[in-house]
């Protein structure tokens, strides 16, 4: 039936239709491989607030005080920033998580995405095969002049057009044009 009632083979149709999915699978695999690089990149955080409490500063001079993980900038009478409500404190932190070089929990997320893509691929192959064989069966029924009640043939033609419309929207071609892109 594949060769007699279709101008394109099932394997050829499936490979054409799944090209877009192959690109998506490559992107997920590439992103999963790149999660180890995240260990080389720092995590950076910043914060700022008006200073109201006293802290131990590592350096104080000219209205600037430097602490362990912050900088306070603001004028006061004694050239220090203790208890000055007008001073503003900003800080930041840069940290490296080198454990991510060995194991990054994000790889599990990408593993789940790969599994979902695999299941989606199986579903797509099943759907594509159904569309292909339904279309081939309709061509066989029409060419062999098999007697089927007209109301059933009408329903089957509508389903066939709907399936080919879905194939055209998904893969860019339909089986009426022998798999040629429009």
- Is residue 117 domain-shared with residue 69, that is, in the same domain? no
Buried residues in 87-118 as b, exposed as e (16+ CB within 10 A): bebebeeeeeeeebeeebeebeebeebeeebe
Residue 33: predicted pLDDT = 77
- Is residue 82 domain-shared with residue 142, that is, in the same domain? no
Does residue 83 contact residue 54 with C-beta atoms inside 8 Å? yes
Q: Kindly state whether residue 50 falls inside one of the protein's structural domains.
A: yes
Domain that includes residue 150, residue range? 10-35+103-177
Q: For residue range 134-156, list pLDDT tens digits in order.
A: 988 888 888 888 888 999 989 99
Q: Kindly state whether residue 90 falls inside one of the protein's structural domains.
A: yes
Domain total of the chain: 2
- Is residue 61 domain-shared with residue 123, that is, in the same domain? no
The rounded distance, in Å, linking the Cα atoms of 52 and 164 is 70
Min mean pLDDT across 40-54, 75-89, 151-165 is at 75-89
78 vs 8, more confident? 8
Q: What is the mean pLDDT of residues 8-15?
A: 85
Residue 52: predicted pLDDT = 54
Query: Given a cut of 50, is residue 78 above it in pLDDT?
Result: no
- Is residue 108 domain-shared with residue 172, that is, in the same domain? yes
Instruction: Tell which residue, 66, 48, 49, has the closest CA to residue 57.
Output: 66
Full-prediction pTM beyond 0.75? no
């Amino acid at each position: 039936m594949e060769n007699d009632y279709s101008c394109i083979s099932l394997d050829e149709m499936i490979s054409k239709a799944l090209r877009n999915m192959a690109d998506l699978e490559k992107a997920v695999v590439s992103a999963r491989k790149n999660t180890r690089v995240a260990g080389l990149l720092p995590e950076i955080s910043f914060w700022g607030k008006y200073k109201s409490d006293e802290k131990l500063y590592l350096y104080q001079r000219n209205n600037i005080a430097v602490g362990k993980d912050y900088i306070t900038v603001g004028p006061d009478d004694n050239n220090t920033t203790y208890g000055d409500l007008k001073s503003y404190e900003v800080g930041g932190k840069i940290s490296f998580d080198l454990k991510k070089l060995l194991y990054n929990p994000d790889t599990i997320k990408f593993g789940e995405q790969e599994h979902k893509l695999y299941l989606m691929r199986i579903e797509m192959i099943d759907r594509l095969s159904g569309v292909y064989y339904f279309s081939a069966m309709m061509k066989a029924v029409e060419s062999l002049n098999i007697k089927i009640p007209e109301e059933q043939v009408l329903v089957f033609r509508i389903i066939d057009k709907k399936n080919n419309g879905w194939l055209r929207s998904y893969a860019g071609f339909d089986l009426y044009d022998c798999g040629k892109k429009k």
